[in-house]
Amino acid sequence: MSTITFDRRALLGLGAGAAVAALAWRMAGEGDAAAVAATPAPFKLTDAEWRKRLSPEAYKVLRQAATEFPNTSPLNAEHRKGLFVCAGCALPLFSSTRKFDSGTGWPSFWDHLPHAIGERSDASLGEERTEVHCARCAGHLGHVFNDGPQPTGLRYCMNGVAMAFKPA
């Protein structure tokens, strides 16, 4: 039988961090820029746990970097105020105030919430693209392109199955 020991300072630090995050979330209202105040703690599961947690479609996108077919996500037509969160770990990713209709068939945003995403180079289709993944669970969300609207000029083209919507 193995024994798990906890470092008291680390445990207190985690508790304090969670309290600050919860307070920031509550004070943020709609959850725009202040919703994610600090880099989120990693969220890791085994492959079996991910398969149990996610639908088969969400698993393929989030854990295997697949792409859903265009115009299949109900989130493409979501226009209420609220937050788009990671379907894998519920980290707030995008505010509805930054969503726009790109005409591509995927939910698109001109900016993300602070500390919500990570980016890495992706040459899987023989061309250089920038992949976007969840900062907490590293789940594949989609790609970012430089053909979006102002003020950023970016288009975060996301797989709807990789997200859930939380109305304000």
Catalytic residue positions, numbered:
157
Q: Which of 141, 146, 13, 7 is nearest to 73 (CA)?
A: 141
The radius of gyration of the chain from alpha carbons, rounded to an integer in Å, stands at: 17
Asked if residue 86 lies in contact with residue 139, where contact means CB atoms within 8 angstroms, the answer is yes
- Determine the residue type at 62: L
Structure-block tokens of residue 14: 């985690």
DSSP code for 34 = G
The phi and psi torsions of 23 (rounded to 5 degrees) equal: -65, -45
